[in-house]
Amino acid sequence: MKQLERLIDRIISRVDINLREFSFDVDSYVRKVIPSIQFSKFYAFYGLTPYHPLHFRFSQSSLAGSYFLGKCSVDHSVLYKSDVRGDELKSKGDMFKFQDWDIFLHEDETIHIKDSYLIKSLVHNFSHDPENPEEFFIHNTVSTHFANIHGSPVEGCFLGPFSTVDLTTLHDCVIGTFSYLQVGELFHQMIEPGKIWIRNENAFDFSYQFSEEVLDKYIRFETGKSPRGLFMDFIDSRKGDFQRIFQVVDLKPYGSVASGAALSRYAVVKGKTRINENVLVAQRAFLENAWLGKGANAQENCYIIDSRLEGNNITAHGGKIIHGRLGEKVFVGFNAFLYGKRDCPLTIGKESIIMPHTVIDLDEPLDIPARHLIWGYIRNRWDLEKHTLSLKSFSEIQGEFSLGPMHFQGSGLDFVKAFKRRIEHILKANGAYFDGKKNRGHAQKDQDISFNTIQPYPKGRLKGIYPTIEIRA
């Protein structure tokens, strides 16, 4: 595996150079986190549909267990069980609107991953970078377990476990464990673990900081060790179910899936689960005794267990819902952890917004009213009082406002409107409003997807490396 070892050396040196002002040692975090034997054990795979452009190019890279959809070029990079989802790539001739500018695309947009190491990360291409409308780039970057790179070009960065960069362009930044950023553009900054930061420079700035005590309980990442904590324990206890679906080539499909719905062949479905009309269930989603009402979705790395979602619900990448009952159009943000228990169920009223990276881990039953904004760390009714406002009350904020460790500045109305626009975009893109003829989305386009596998070299100096290969339509 000498070639693979040299490739990892190359990537680490590139990232270290970019982060030299922080004296950040990437090597100590990732060198032995994944045993080298793992890179030759898994096939990579890609999706093929009539609706998504097909063009992949892999050059001297390792792609163990990773998934590709759309147009993607991977050069001198290591991807380990990562998903690269290019289902919203812009096309040649499109007009990309950014603020007051209309930007004409002269070429199809392509995801370009170069000199990067992505560990169990989700890449989704809905990019808003006006300076590179035809390339969604991930260069000289390391991302670790269950990080989300969502519409966010990154260069020279390190992303800690369960971190999310969302519609943000990053240059030479360190993003701490379980941090969430949606700030437009960021240069040369180190973001501490557990920081939730949403900013629109002309309208609002929302921030929240998890305590070290909470982070230590749920997710911690130390040099020379794999991530640990309740998040990892939760996922590791269910790894066996995913091993079965990835080891079997001809897997019998799950039974009843309603019309207009799509269920990935690489999702786990157990127990008494119901998938209704226009539901989208992505690869690596986990459903057990789950009711998904019309137009709901479960995105990559989501877990929905012993729960009922009434319809048009969004569970964003990495969201987890256990023993919950959610009304219509409830939004559950990236890597949110909603952990009700059989004797402490969680109920959330319709049209409420659960902010990204919210942790609700109940020690008593909890009923959250309709149309509320929820954030932070919640265990009971007392915690809820300091971590929620009705959308109406939040919309009335003008200027500075604080509630517990949450700080906000700007227009609450603009903040709420931005979230609602985002929710509508996701529902439309996913095909939640499909009526049998109009409003097709991912749930309809992915119904006939076929999967193709790619194998690495099985032995010798190239063991774990995938052959240089180009796949075109």
How far is the C-alpha of 408 from the C-alpha of 118, rounded, in Å? 33
Given a cut of 80, is residue 193 above it in pLDDT? yes
3 state DSSP class of 445: helix
How far is the C-alpha of 92 from the C-alpha of 72, rounded, in Å? 15
How far is the C-alpha of 359 from the C-alpha of 310, rounded, in Å? 21
Q: How far is CA 316 from CA 85, 164, 300, 371, in A?
A: 14, 11, 8, 18
Residues 298, 300, 305: CA angle, nearest 5 degrees: 50
Tokens of 102: 């209309």
How far is the C-alpha of 126 from the C-alpha of 113, rounded, in Å? 15
Q: What is the mean pLDDT of residues 370-385?
A: 98
Q: Which range, of 250-254, 347-351, 381-385, 440-444, averages the lowest pLDDT?
A: 250-254
Q: Where do the structural domains in the chain lie, given as residue ranges?
A: 2-224+450-472, 238-399+410-445
Amino acid found at 165? V
* Gap between the terminal Cα atoms of the chain: 32
Residues in the chain: 473
Radius of gyration of the chain (CA): 21
Asked whether the whole model's pTM tops 0.85, one would answer yes
Q: Which residues contact 250 (CB under 8 A, 6 or more apart)?
A: none
3 state DSSP class of 47: strand
Given a cut of 90, is residue 97 above it in pLDDT? no
At 469 the pLDDT is 86
Residues 180 and 196: beta-carbon distance below 8 Å:
yes
Residues 109 and 147: beta-carbon distance below 8 Å:
no
- Condensed to tens digits (0 to 9), the pLDDT of residues 128-150 reads 888 888 999 999 999 999 999 99
Task: With cut-offs at 50, 70 and 90, classify the pLDDT of residue 158.
Answer: very high
Closest residue by Cα to residue 160 from 112, 111, 232: 232
Given a cut of 80, is residue 80 above it in pLDDT? yes
Tokens of 86: 């290019």
Given a cut of 70, is residue 253 above it in pLDDT? no
Task: With cut-offs at 50, 70 and 90, classify the pLDDT of residue 249.
Answer: low
Domain 2-224+450-472 in CATH 2.160.10.10? The answer is yes
Q: How far is CA 224 from CA 36, 140, 221, in A?
A: 15, 21, 9
Residues 334 and 317: beta-carbon distance below 8 Å:
yes
Closest residue by Cα to residue 318 from 96, 77, 150, 99: 150
Q: Tally helices (H) and strands (E) across the chain.
A: 9, 47
Q: What is the mean pLDDT of residues 359-384?
A: 98
Amino acid found at 424? E
Q: Which CATH superfamily is domain 238-399+410-445 in?
A: Hexapeptide repeat proteins (2.160.10.10)
**One fold for both 2-224+450-472 and 238-399+410-445?**
yes
Q: How far is CA 52 from CA 162, 285, 388, 432, 456, in A?
A: 28, 21, 40, 19, 25
Tokens of 327: 């009304």
At 252 the pLDDT is 66
Q: What is the mean pLDDT of residues 13-42?
A: 93
Amino acid found at 215? L
How far is the C-alpha of 44 from the C-alpha of 271, rounded, in Å? 28
Average predicted confidence (pLDDT) for the chain: 94
- Condensed to tens digits (0 to 9), the pLDDT of residues 163-186 reads 999 999 999 999 999 999 999 999
Name the pairing type of β-strands 450-454 and 44-48.
antiparallel
Share of the chain above pLDDT 70, in %: 98
Q: How far is CA 82 from CA 46, 61, 143, 205, 283, in A?
A: 12, 13, 10, 31, 11
- Condensed to tens digits (0 to 9), the pLDDT of residues 195-230 reads 999 999 889 999 999 999 999 999 999 988 899 999
Burial of 436-461, coded b for 16+ CB within 10 Å and e otherwise, reads eeeebbbbbbbbebeeeebebbeeee
- Condensed to tens digits (0 to 9), the pLDDT of residues 291-327 reads 999 999 999 999 999 999 999 999 999 999 999 999 9
How far is the C-alpha of 435 from the C-alpha of 217, rounded, in Å? 45
Given a cut of 90, is residue 98 above it in pLDDT? no
